[in-house]
A and B are shown apart, each in its own frame.
Chain A
Amino acid sequence: MSAVAFRGIAKRYGVAEALFPLDLEIASGEFISFLGPSGSGKSTLLNICAGYIEPTAGALFVAGRDVTAAPPRRRNIGMVFQNYALFQHLDVFENVAYGLRVRRTARAELAQRVKDALQAVRLDGFGGRSIRSLSGGQQQRVALARAMAIEPDILLMDEPLGALDKQLRKEVQIEIRRMHVARPRTTLYVTHDQEEALVMSDRIAVLRGGRLVQLGTARELYSRPVDSFVARFLGESNLIVGRVAELGDGRAMLSAQGLAAPIEGYAAQGLRMAEAACALIRPEHVRLVAGGQPARIVERLFLGEIAALRLVLPSGAELWSRLFSSDAPAGDEIEIGWDRERVSILPETS
């Protein structure tokens, strides 16, 4: 039985579709990220799960129970907001204790559980502090402790690191990951930051324009994206635009102007002969190959033990390359190639 199941969940505002009918099952203890640009429907999905937004259609099951019509207070969820949403008039202890007081937890147990929750976010001894006296990172950890203290069936996080600066972001990100590994809880995590999603998630759901574009592990999404949108969204990517020249048996050939030879690669779903498509070649897979595709080095960035090279093909198309041990300076003409097993031919979605 899955911990969370969306069955045909959809949301429409007037005539605008915020979310098209969506089916998704999330396993117990799984950490799943909803990744997408703003307006992709990722927050809508999370708010439907929390009960803050009522879906237009479909049903939502949590731990096998249909909660579609249940108000938020009857769902036993832990929600973490981007702006923390802590109660300023209460101290840290009372913030964390809020959900337990609602549940009429006995005094001794309440004190113990608040203590445990604060310990889990490494804020032992902060109970008497006022919210205002805490840094942004500490406030978000209090919010995390507050959400976890009630032992929720599912933990929901809506861009929890969005309001933090880069340094704190890293700190809280690691904290969340550490807590999840120590004690896996079913977690739904909304972000527009691909790195966050890659680092934290068991699976990632990429959304765009209210639709689920792809669902898979970070590795699957990175190496076999379903289209150029996902490829652009996750990691760095070289996308060479052309037309499908050959198609069959899970493989495809892409021909493009200025290429010495068509690019062969794994064929994604939805390709059609002679139609526009693009080849995905990750920068780390571009190598020096004698007699390969001619290219010119335009720029060279020193990144320590590796270098990043900006290359331009005779067609004018640009390509980034990584892991390049060559000392070739900018302006040099070189010949490059790539492993065809690493290349994907994807439908162009721009």
Chain B
Amino acid sequence: MTPAGAWTKAFAALLAAAIVIPVLAVAPLAFSEQSFLQLPPQDWSVRWWGVFFGDASWIRALLTSLEVAALSCLLSVTTGTSAALGLLRLGPRMRALATGLFLGPMVAPVIVLAVGLYALARSLGLVGSTIGLVLAHTMLALPYVVLNVGVSVAGLDPRLALAASGLGASPWRVFRTVTLPSILPGMLGGGIFAFVTSFDEVVLAVFLAGPSVKTLPVRIWEEVRVEYTPVVAVAATIMIILAVIGSAMGRLVTRRTA
């Protein structure tokens, strides 16, 4: 590769700024002294952090988000891993079909999913329940797990399992001692994606959340509509921090396998 020229570098910097600045702009807002959102803030303070952590409803929203994200992460990793392993055993045509089906939620418009899921959840009485939202987010996160684990599974030498069973291992032991360690990075990577997907998801959450399961993004959205105070920026900054940590971990895990 030839070294990038000055113009290329400048253009790249501009592009990076265009992507990052809107995201980072929210951080200074969180440290504003004022009661309304204005860039740049005229005085600095951490008073809105105090407001955020002093308000039970914000804390509850954060905890709800973490709970829903953790549960749908767990659920999507277990089901997604089973799916990825199962896909390997299908014939080529069935596998293509089933893979397409599993990846569907990734390409389907979220609003369409939301409308459909809302109708379904209503008839099942799951609107406003944690389990309903967890199931919806699991569906949304599943493709990432199937993809991530799928890559690990594809790189798995089938003869390793044969060797283990030849040495006397039962199918469960083969899975636990040979298959699992090999696909663990894929599972971790998929799990982090699943967590982040659920954590910042707002459309399904708006449709399915009742007053009892209000996630952080939903709470932010509601807040913005009512009052436009920097406490929203605080919540957003917390989300950014968690998302950055999550994707950094994801990168780390996937890097190690590559």
Contacts and interface: CB of A to CB of B under 8 A. Distances in A.
B162 A79 contact: yes
Contacts of B163: 79, 81, 85, 87, 146
B159 A98 contact: no
B169 interface: yes
Interface in B147-189: 157, 159-160, 162-170, 173, 177-178, 181-182
Contacts of B165: 71-73
Given A87-B178, A89-B181, A98 B167 contact: yes
B186 to A, nearest CB: 14
A146 B160 contact: no
B168 A103 contact: yes
Nearest to A94: B177
A102 interface: yes
Contacts of B159: 81, 83, 85
Contacts of A150: 167-168
A265 interface: no
Contacts of B160: 85, 87
A190 interface: no
A132 to B, nearest CB: 13
A99 B181 contact: no
Contacts of B168: 73-74, 76, 99, 102-103, 150
Contacts of A75: 166
The main secondary structure of chain B at its interface with chain A is helix
A150 B165 CA distance: 13
Contacts of B181: 87, 89
A103 B164 CA distance: 12
A150 B182 CA distance: 24
Contacts of B173: 102
Identify which of B160, B162, B167, B182 gathers the most chain A CB atoms within 10 Å of its CB: B167
B178 A50 contact: no
A87 B174 CA distance: 11
Contact of A85 (B162, B169, B182): B162
Nearest to B160: A85
B170 A72 contact: no
Given A87-B178, A89-B181, A98 B157 contact: no
A81 B164 CA distance: 12
B166 A78 contact: yes
Contacts of B182: 88-89
A77 interface: yes
Identify which of B159, B160, B164, B166 gathers the most chain A CB atoms within 10 Å of its CB: B166
B166 A79 contact: yes
A157 to B, nearest CB: 12
Interface string A146-170: 1100100000000000000000000
A50 B163 CA distance: 10
Interface in B31-69: none
A73 B166 contact: yes
B197 to A, nearest CB: 28
A39 B83 CA distance: 34
A50 B169 contact: no
A52 B165 CA distance: 9
A150 B166 CA distance: 10
Interface of B: 157, 159-160, 162-170, 173, 177-178, 181-182
Interface of A: 50-52, 71-79, 81, 83, 85, 87-89, 98-99, 102-103, 146-147, 150
11 contacts: A50-B166, A72-B165, A73-B169, A74-B168, A81-B159, A85-B160, A87-B163, A87-B178, A98-B177, A102-B169, A147-B167
